[in-house]
Amino acid sequence: MSVELKIPVIGESVTEVTLSSWLKKDGDYVAEGEAVCEIESDKASMELPAPSAGVLKIMAEAGSELKIGAKIGELDTAAAKPAAAAKTEAPAAAPKAEAAAPAATASSGKEVNYPSPAARKILDEKGVSADDVKGSGKDGRITKDDAVNASAPAPAAKAAAPAAAPTATRAPTVPGARATRPEKMTRLRKTIASKLVEAKNTTAMLTTFNEVDMFELMALRKRYKDAFTKKHGVGLGFMSLFTKAVTVALKDWPAVNAQINGDEILYHDYADIGIAVSTPRGLVVPVVRNAESLSLAEIEKEILALATKARDGKITIEEMQGGTFSITNGGVFGSMLSTPILNLPQSAILGMHNIIERPVAINGQVVIRPMMYLALSYDHRIIDGRESVSFLKQVKELLEDPSRLLLDV
């Protein structure tokens, strides 16, 4: 008896995916629930588990673009599970043979650093040995991202010319290499590109700026971060404080939390905040639901869980849909100032930046303060200048006097 392997329904709007790589080889015996391949949609990547135990028959090549429901393989469930290979000991007369054996994981017996098919192809093109790459996947498997980031080893130095040939001359130095390496865009990257162009072309996007004195916020965080971590089991970061300030301001300026829906403006009485996360596959925006009703600790835990899933490629489409407002932090990469692009269909996005000590005037005195520039990009079709500027000013005031977040004033 055989069981078909098909591309599953991933999300309401997803009609096609890319079969990124096979994690098992044709003819391998796989256990029920064991991941057999990686598939990538326009929103996220995921591993496809085996619905039953059996011997795998591969029927679609890695890199193929497939419709939802497409058959990619079969599992022969009648095949018997192969017996574990008996371990053989090296003969005493050849103690050095052990060193030549491939390294193996203690739990599975599989070779460490074995590449996926897609990773193998990239490594072969680069001329990089799998032995020189540390795998980040399950059981030490080398993933596609590992292969993309791998560098070819430096060429070994040539042996010195023999003394009998003193007239030999060194080859002329070759200028810097100018090689190019074409690489197919991932489905996620193509979707990101399309969405960004759509946002630029279909909205009346404008950006307003302000700056926030981070002194009080940083002092508050320093004062309570150890007690916070001890009680809640999660660190107190700036993102939860910014998220809370945003949710308070959105209540007073509901247009910033609204969306255009045909000929109507759709207002939300809740705040689902998208938090931009950079991953090896591109930028994704998981959503913290009902952030307005969460405590700082609950926001921190949710952000940590979603960010971890996003970076591990485990984030689901449902966890990235339905946001009403987004926050992106370019400051973690050293950005001083930027104009973030709207995350459609949302109408506004807040950009955080790096914190720099600068001289500022306070009560007639020049003092050094940790300052951050804030940028609010918004759709001018439904958000007027008064609303956007007032919203950003309120966020600034809440962050500069964080006690207001606790007192709701």
Among 124, 132, 312, 380, the one annotated catalytic: 380
Q: Rounded CA gap, 79 and 82, in Å?
A: 9
Is 268 catalytic? The answer is no
- List Cβ neighbours of 274 (8 Å cut-off, separation of 6 or more): 285, 286, 287, 288, 320, 323, 325, 326, 327, 343, 346
Q: Rounded CA gap, 101 and 91, in Å?
A: 13
Is 232 catalytic? The answer is no
Burial class (CB in 10 A: 0-12, 13-18, 19+), 119: buried
Q: How many CB atoms lie within 10 A of CB 4?
A: 11
- List Cβ neighbours of 195 (8 Å cut-off, separation of 6 or more): 343, 344
39 neighbors 68 (Cβ within 8 angstroms): no
Helix %, strand %, coil % for the chain, to 5? 30, 25, 45
Q: Rounded CA gap, 111 and 232, in Å?
A: 40
Q: Rounded CA gap, 149 and 364, in Å?
A: 52
Among 124, 132, 269, 384, the one annotated catalytic: 384
Packed helices 215-232 and 385-400: angle between N→C axes, nearest 10 degrees: 70
Active site residues: 380, 384
